Structure 1
C-alpha cells in the first residue's frame, strides 16, 4: 500500500467517525420562523381586515383624509379622532347617515367628547364598583378551580355576580345581567343565521357599557357581562354602530382568532358589492410642498417681484449715471468771448461785470456785507483776502478806466473774488 492510499484510508475513517459522533450528539428538529410583513401589509395597519372584506365581495379602502363623505349606502369606520379637526364634519356625517350611510364608532376613540355626541343615539355608562368587584370575584373563583371544573365554576360565579349586580343596581342598570359565561357575547338578533353567541377573547372594555338614548330602539345588540358591548341604532335611512372597544379591534394582523372575523363582518354589515371606508388618521402633505403644488405661479411671480425690489434698493458701487465731463473753455474761446464783449459793450461794462461778480461773492461769504458802506466793504474784503486795500478801493469805486488800467483792475478784482471763495 502506497503512502497516498494510506492517507485516503485515514481521511475516510476520520469522516466516518465524525458523522457517527454528530448523529449521536445532535438532534434535528423543524422550527417555524415567522417572516416580517412586507409591502402593503407592513404599512397598512388594517390590511388583514381589508382582505377579509374583499374575500366577502366588498370594496374596502382606507383613507387618511375625509375631505368628502363616502358614497350613499357605504360604511364608514372611524379609527381615529383626527376627523374632529374640521368642526363641520360632524354635521356632514349626520347628513350622510340620514341619507343612507352606515357609521361605525369605537368608544375608546373619544367620539362622545366631540360634536357627534349631540346626535348619535348611543351613550356609555360606567359600570358600578360593586359589579366590578363581583366580576373580579368570579374570575378569581374560575382560576382557582381545576381545568375540568373551571367552566362550571365560572358559570356559577358569574351567575351569582350577575344576580348581585341586578339586586344592587336594579334601578340604575336594568339591562345589566349575566347572560353569558367567560368572554362569550350574545347577539340579539342572531349575527348570521342561527349564530347567537360569539367567543371574542376579551376584545371589549370592562369599565363601561353602552346604552341607547331614551326613546331610541336598538336594531342590534351584543351583550357581555352585565351590559351591552355593541349597539346599532337606526338614524334616518342609515344606522350608527358603536363598539365598546379600541382601534386595535380592526388593526389586528391575525383577525381569525376566536369569532373576531365574524364580529367584524357583522359590524360593517357585510354585503357583496358594498363599499367600506376605513378612516385611519388625518395625514396631509407638508405645508411647503402643498404651497408649491397648489400655487407655484404666485410663488414664482412673488419671488421675481422680491428679487426686483431687492436689486432696486441694493447698495451700488457707483452712481446710477456716469458723471458728466467737466466742460471748460479753452483760452482761445475765453479771449474771443472777451473781445466780443468789449466790442459790443466797451471797457466800462466789462469792469462793471467784474465788480458785480466780486460783490455777489462777498455778499454770500462776508456777514452783513450788504449793509456796509463802500469803505467798510473794501476793508472787509481786504482783511479777508490780504489784497491791497487802496488798490482794491480804486478798482471797486471806479466806473470807467483807460485801456491801460483795465487789465490790472480786472486781475485785482478776480483775485479777490477767488480768494474769498477759497475761505472755509
Structure 2
C-alpha cells in the first residue's frame, strides 16, 4: 500500500469516527443520579439527633446526657427531662431522685417500658408504677362502641387542645395502651382504640408518660404533628435529653472492639499460672503392670461401677443374682407371690425371713451411708453364697 492509499484509509476512518461521535452526542441524554449513602455517623449514634436540631431551631436549649448522674446539677424549674432510653436498671433510689426533682418543679417525660401484671400487682417498671399508671396491650382491651361519625384516621393518635377546632395528629405505636385506674391524669391523647399519652401534675412539676418514643426518632419526627408535640411538651424550658441510662463498662467495650486481644491475654495468664504453679510433692509414678493382681482389678472395677452407676445399681444386680439362683433351685419360683418367695429363700438359705425381706426390699433413692451399704452388700452375698 502506497502513501496515498494510507492517507485515504485514515481519512475514511476519521470521518466514520466523527460521524459516530456526532450520532452518540445527539442520542446521549444527560441525567442526575442521587446515590444514597445512608445516615451520617452522628445520626447513627444518636437516634434523636433530628429532634435535638428541631428543638434548637425553635429556640430551645438542648443538652444531651447519658446517665442520671447529671440530675443533681439540673435546676428543676424551667427544665424538661426526657427519659427516652431503656430504664430496666433504674434503682428505687434513682427513681426517688427523679420524682423529687419533678416535685420541685421539673417537667418529666418518660416512656412506659413494661406491661401491667395482675398476678404481681405491678409492672416491674419502677418509675411507671410510682406514678400509678398502667400499660396494657391494645388487643386485650374491649372493642370500643361504634361511633356515629367514622374516624377517618383510626391509626393516628389525636391530641385535642382548647380553642382549637382540629386535633393534632401523632404517629404513636397503637399496639400499647395507657390506663389510669385512679383518674390522676389531667390530659391525654388517644387513637381510635387506645390511649398513648397521659399527663398529670406532680407537686410543682408535671409528668408525661408515653407508650413509645419512636415518633421522635430521626426517621419519624417529620411525620404528622410529631415534631410539634415535642415542642409543645418542652416549650419555654431548657431540655435535657437522656436516652442511654446505662454506660458500657470497660469489659463490654473490650469484648466489642478487642476480642482477639482479650483471648490472647487470657491465654498468657493461663500459661503464666501453669508455669508458676508449685507442685506439692513429687509426681506419683504409675504402678508397674507386673504387680497388678486380680483382686486389684476387681476392686477397681467395683469402684468404677459405684462411681458411675451408683449404689442402687450394684444392690439391684446382687438382688437379681439371688433371685436367679432361687429360680434355678426351686422351679416355679417366679410365679409365687413375694411373701412365698421369701419363705422359699428362708428355707433354702437357712436365713430368717426378716433378713431376706431387708435384703430384697426396694431401697430408697437417697444415698446410703458407707456402713449401711456394706451391711446390705454383705447380707446379699450371704444369701447368694448359701444358694
Q: TM-score, normalised by structure 1?
A: 0.49
Matched, 1:197 2:201: no
Counterpart of 1:221? Answer: 188
Structure 1 distance, partners of 2:41, 2:219, is 14
Deviation at 1:127, TM superposition (A): 3.9
- How far is the alpha carbon of 1:101 from its aligned partner? 1.3
Listed as ranges, the gaps of 5+ residues in structure 2 are 117-122, 254-277, 279-387
Find the aligned partners of 2:41 and 2:239 in 1 and give their Cα distance.
Answer: 23
Residue in 1 aligned with 2:225? 259
Q: Which residue does the alignment assign to 1:105?
A: 110
1:210 aligns to what SS in structure 2? strand
Instruction: Return the alpha-carbon distance in structure 2 between the equivalents of residues 182 and 65 of structure 1.
Output: 37
SS of the aligned residue for 2:228 comes to: helix
Aligned counterpart in structure 2 of residue 187 of structure 1, from 154, 159, 174: 159
What's the counterpart of residue 75 of structure 2? 71
Q: Aligned residue for 1:384?
A: none
The answer to whether the 8 Å contact 1:179/1:186 transfers is: no
Q: Which residue of 1 aligns with 2:39?
A: 37
Q: CA deviation at 1:231?
A: 1.0
Q: Give 1:110 shift.
A: 6.3
Asked if 2 retains the 8 angstrom alpha-carbon contact of 1:53 and 1:270, the reply is no
- CA 1:102–1:18 in 2, change beyond 3 Å: closer, same or farther? same
Pairing partner for 2:134 from 118, 123, 146 = 123
Secondary structure (helix, strand or coil) at the match of 2:68 reads coil
| Per-residue deviation, residues 295-317 of structure 1 (Å, max 9, x unmatched) | xxxxxxxxxxxxxxxxxxx9xxx
**Residues 212/109 of structure 1: CA separation in 2 closer, same or farther (3 Å cut):** closer
DSSP 3-state at the match of 1:34: coil
Structure 1: runs of 5+ lacking an equivalent = 135-159, 164-176, 290-313, 315-424
Query: 2:89 pairs with 84, 88, 93, which one?
Result: 84
Partner of 2:177 in structure 1? 209
**In structure 2, do the counterparts of structure 1 residues 83 and 205 end up closer, same or farther at CA, with 3 Å as the change threshold?**
same
Cα distance, 1:161–1:128 mapped onto 2, change above 3 Å:
farther
CA contact under 8 A between 1:180 and 1:225: conserved in structure 2?
no
Are the equivalent residues in 1 in contact too, given 2:103–2:204 (CA < 8 A)? yes
Aligned length: 244
- Tell me how far 1:12 sits from its aligned partner: 3.6
Q: How far off is 1:278 after superposition?
A: 2.3
Once the two structures are superposed, residues 307-333 of structure 1 have per-residue CA deviations (whole angstroms, 9 ceiling, x without a partner) of xxxxxxx9xxxxxxxxxxxxxxxxxxx
Residues 235-384 of structure 1 aligned to structure 2 (within 5 Å)? 235-245=202-212, 247-253=213-219, 255-266=221-232, 268-271=233-236, 274-286=238-250
Query: Matched residue of 1:113: which SS?
Result: coil
Give me the whole-angstrom Cα distance separating, in 1, the residues matched to 2:49 and 2:157.
Answer: 26
| 1:234, distance to aligned residue in structure 2 (A) | 0.7
When residues 9 and 108 of structure 1 are mapped into structure 2, their CA distance, relative to the original with a 3 A threshold, is: farther
- Give the match for residue 328 of structure 1: none
Q: Is the 8 A contact 1:81 1:109 kept in 2?
A: no
Supply the distance in 2 between the matched residues of 1:212 and 1:49 (Cα, whole angstroms): 28
Task: Specify the SS of the correspondent of 2:177.
Answer: strand
Give secondary structure in 1 for the equivalent of 2:92.
coil
**CA displacement at 1:250 relative to structure 2:** 2.6
Aligned-partner Cα distance in 2 for 1:85–1:127? 26
Q: Deviations over 1:395-421 (max 9, x none)?
A: xxxxxxxxxxxxxxxxxxxxxxxxxxx
Q: What's the CA shift for 1:270?
A: 2.3
| Structure of greater Rg | 1
The separation in 1 between residues aligned to 2:98 and 2:22, in whole angstroms, is 72
- Per-residue deviation at 1:194? 3.0
SS at 2:234 equivalent:
coil
What is the root-mean-square deviation in Å for CA atoms of aligned residues?
A: 3.6
Alpha-carbon distance, 1:105 to partner: 1.7
Per the alignment, do residues 22 and 75 of structure 1 end up closer, same or farther by CA in structure 2, a change over 3 Å counting?
same
